[in-house]
């Protein structure tokens, strides 16, 4: 049997990368410490994403507003095939510090460990632990024991140093060493493939590409190639929840950066509310006149909670567990309300804050317009299905300061501005946007603040499942399907978590995506 040169080249093309992989993984990759900068964003980056992205604004340290705050998320990992123990770190035995992280041009305001592998002991990161501290421009990390493929993540809040005028900050400087490690044992910045060096990755990629092409020509004549798992080409249109908009704006920006063939155009009016987003998606699907079994691949709508009946072709995919909070003007004089008092306020039974041991100020209810998922969740979860009282004025600026009343506004940012400027005002918002402000006061319900722990215990009632809706089943290689996979992947989950939400994938029942202590659900 004759063998073509193409077949020989294909076999060699596959054999060489296999040999290179064995060398890298088994021999050269036996001991390696790596890190990744998974998020490095400033207020300037956040502001460029849209007016609703205000999580980093109004941050303070020692009672003073930060001048130019930024947030950095680093992943420290054992990128080799051998466990790293305390004695492996290149440092004196008496020095508990194993890794040092410096931020040129920035000072460290605070830091915490947001995630760790199950086998990484939590005792390394408790307050007061040896080697775990911050000093000025530097974060010190202890000699953490890391089994093969183990990792942990450090989230740092930083501020620009006085005298540093460059528009962009240099990358963080991570210093560490491992005794007996490859390439001198110095900690290395890893990329998407933390187990292989850059040179070997290029070698593998080029040889695999050549061998795959030759194999296709020599053996089957096929010229197709599978698309990457998450990246897809095309334009994606997002709409829906204003409460979840900060997550989507940041995720869209990162997705476009990762996937150069994808475009996700967003404007100030892209997110106008859950019902508006569902209406937009349903209208686009109906206009496309798709046959049964096919779905739109270029549109997604995000809703605070499930859709209403009557839209059978809108398919749900839970994304995150979101927390909401009641907010009041500072002159109300209250910080805690019972669930009964909240219901009486919205039923019109309590019309002055003095009736709940607050100041002598009339109650002014500031609500989102109909179609808001935050408002619908308030009615369903907190008010036991009761609707809000009638509007007394169409313009919140027209509220009578001496009499109780209610008005409605369009977006979360406008609601918070109105509550902050209206004496006696009571409103509702997602937690991230409210926490970023110092001119409104969050209200505890029955003594419980708006925390995921309180929701898990079934004590805090104002929460909702954030759901992504598609029109039919989108094609697997579509930009809509790719973006949904991205949100559920590691970087997407970090973005969701950084904005105060909990990824559904982290819950015991991700398809239900509700707090562990919730008996029912939305």
Note whether 153 and 129 are same-domain residues: yes
User: Is 226 domain-assigned?
Assistant: no
Q: In sequence order, what DSSP letters do the residues of 378-445 get, joined into one string?
A: IIIIISTTPPPPPPS-SSGGG--TTS-EEEEESSHHHHHHHHHHSTTEEEEEEHHHHHT-SSSEEEEE
pTM value surpassing 0.85 = no
**DSSP code of residue 258:** H
User: Does 125 share its domain with 241?
Assistant: no
Exposed e or buried b per residue across 423-444, where buried means at least 16 C-beta atoms within 10 angstroms of its C-beta: bbbbbbbbbbbbbbbeebbbbb
Looking at the fold, whether 203 and 280 belong to one and the same domain comes out as no
- Whether the per-residue pLDDT at 23 is higher than 70: the answer is no
Q: DSSP state, 388?
A: P
In a domain, 511, yes or no: no
Would you place residue 522 in the very low, low, confident or very high pLDDT band (cuts 50, 70, 90)? very low
Tokens in use for 484?
A: 């949904």
CB 134, CB 99: distance < 8 Å? no
CA-to-CA dists, residue 518 to 272, 392, 453, angstroms: 29, 35, 12
For residues 292 and 210, membership in a common domain is answered with no
pLDDT for 215 beyond 90: no
DSSP reduced 3-state for 70: strand
Separation CA 355–CA 22 (nearest Å): 74
Assess whether pLDDT exceeds 70 at residue 11. no
CB atoms inside a 10 Å sphere around CB 498: 21
| 53 plus 168 within the same structural domain | yes
Question: Distance between terminal CA atoms of the chain?
Answer: 67
Q: Does 255 lie in the same domain as 240?
A: yes
- Summarize the confidence of residues 11-22 as an average pLDDT: 62
In angstroms, the Cα distances linking 259 to 251, 304, 477 are 12, 27, 13
pLDDT at 227: 39
Establish if 515 belongs to a structural domain: no
Domain that holds residue 491: 234-320+466-506
Q: What is the mean pLDDT of residues 414-426?
A: 97
Residue 500's pLDDT is 85
Domain boundary among 430, 445, 463: 463
Within 8 A by CB and 6+ apart from 165, the residues are: none
Sign of CA dihedral 339, 340, 341, 344: positive
Query: Are residues 74 and 9 both part of a single domain?
Result: no
**pLDDT tens digits, residue range 348-365?**
999 999 999 999 999 999
| Residue 42 and residue 178 in one domain | yes
Q: Tokens 């849209």 appear where?
A: 50
Indicate whether 13 and 122 sit together in one domain.
Answer: no
In a domain, 121, yes or no: yes
pLDDT greater than 50 at residue 520: no
Looking up tokens 């209206």, which residue turns up?
Answer: 422
Model pLDDT, residue 57: 60
Same domain, 280 and 211: no
pLDDT at 206 over 70: no
Residue 215 lies in a domain: yes
CATH code, domain carrying 413: 3.40.190.10
Same domain, 213 and 305: no
Mean pLDDT over each residue of the chain, to the nearest integer? 86
Residues 116 and 53 in one domain: yes
Q: For residue 290, is it within any domain?
A: yes
In a domain, 513, yes or no: no
Number of domains the chain is built from: 4
If one compares 514 and 14, the residue with the highest pLDDT of the two is 514
CA atoms within 13 A of residue 320's CA, in its CB half-sphere: 30
Instruction: Kindly report the CATH number assigned to the domain that includes residue 46.
Output: 2.60.40
User: Which positions ≥6 away from 15 have C-beta within 8 Å?
Assistant: none
Fill in the DSSP letter of residue 204: H
Per-residue pLDDT, 9: 58
Q: Judge whether 482 and 233 are in contact, CB under 8 Å.
A: no
In a domain, 499, yes or no: yes
Cα 220 from chain centroid (whole Å): 44
């Amino acid at each position: 049997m004759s063998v073509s040169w193409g077949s020989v080249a294909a076999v060699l093309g596959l054999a060489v990368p296999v040999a290179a992989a064995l060398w890298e993984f088994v021999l050269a990759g036996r001991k390696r410490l790596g890190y990744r900068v998974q998020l490095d964003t400033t207020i300037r980056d956040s502001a460029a994403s849209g007016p609703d992205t205000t999580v980093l604004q109004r941050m303070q340290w020692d009672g003073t507003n930060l001048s130019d705050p930024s947030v950095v998320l680093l992943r420290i990992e054992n990128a080799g095939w051998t466990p790293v123990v305390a004695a492996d770190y290149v440092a004196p035995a008496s020095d508990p510090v194993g890794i040092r992280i410096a931020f040129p041009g920035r000072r460290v305001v605070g830091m915490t460990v947001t995630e760790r592998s199950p086998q990484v002991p939590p005792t390394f990161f408790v307050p007061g632990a040896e080697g775990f501290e911050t000093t000025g421009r530097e974060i010190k990390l202890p000699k953490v024991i890391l089994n093969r493929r183990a990792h942990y993540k450090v989230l740092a809040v930083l501020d620009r140093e006085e005298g540093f005028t460059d528009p962009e900050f240099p990358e963080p400087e991570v210093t560490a060493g491992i005794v007996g490690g490859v390439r001198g044992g110095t900690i290395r910045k890893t990329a998407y493939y933390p187990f292989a060096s850059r040179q070997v990755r290029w070698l593998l990629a080029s040889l695999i590409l050549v061998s795959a092409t030759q194999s296709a020509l020599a053996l089957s004549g096929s010229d197709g190639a599978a698309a990457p798992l998450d990246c897809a080409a095309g334009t994606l249109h997002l709409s829906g929840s204003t409460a979840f908009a900060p997550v989507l704006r940041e995720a869209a920006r990162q997705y476009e950066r990762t996937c150069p063939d994808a475009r996700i155009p967003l404007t100030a009016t892209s997110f106008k509310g859950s019902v508006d987003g569902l209406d937009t998606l349903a209208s686009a699907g109906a206009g496309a006149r798709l046959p049964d079994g096919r779905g739109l691949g270029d549109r997604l709508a995000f809703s605070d909670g499930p859709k209403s009946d009557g839209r059978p072709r809108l398919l749900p995919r839970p994304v995150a567990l979101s927390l909401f909070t009641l907010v009041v003007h500072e002159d109300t004089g209250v910080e805690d309300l019972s669930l009964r008092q909240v219901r009486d306020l919205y039923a019109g039974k309590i019309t002055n804050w003095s009736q709940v041991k607050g100041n002598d100020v009339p109650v002014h209810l500031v609500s989102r317009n109909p179609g808001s998922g935050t408002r619908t969740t308030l009615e369903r979860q907190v008010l036991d299905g009761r609707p809000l009282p009638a509007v007394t004025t169409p313009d919140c600026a027209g509220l009578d300061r001496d009499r109780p009343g209610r008005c409605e506004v369009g977006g979360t940012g406008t609601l918070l501005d109105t509550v902050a400027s209206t004496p006696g005002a009571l409103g509702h918002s997602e937690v991230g946007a409210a926490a970023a402000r110092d001119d409104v006061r969050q209200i505890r319900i029955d003594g419980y603040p708006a925390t995921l722990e309180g929701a898990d215990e079934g004590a805090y009632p104002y929460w909702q499942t954030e759901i992504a809706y598609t029109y039919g089943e989108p094609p697997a290689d579509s930009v809509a399907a790719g973006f949904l996979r991205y949100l559920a992947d590691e970087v997407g989950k970090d973005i969701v978590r950084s904005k105060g939400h909990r990824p559904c994938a982290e819950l015991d029942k991700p398809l239900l995506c509700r707090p562990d202590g919730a008996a029912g659900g939305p």
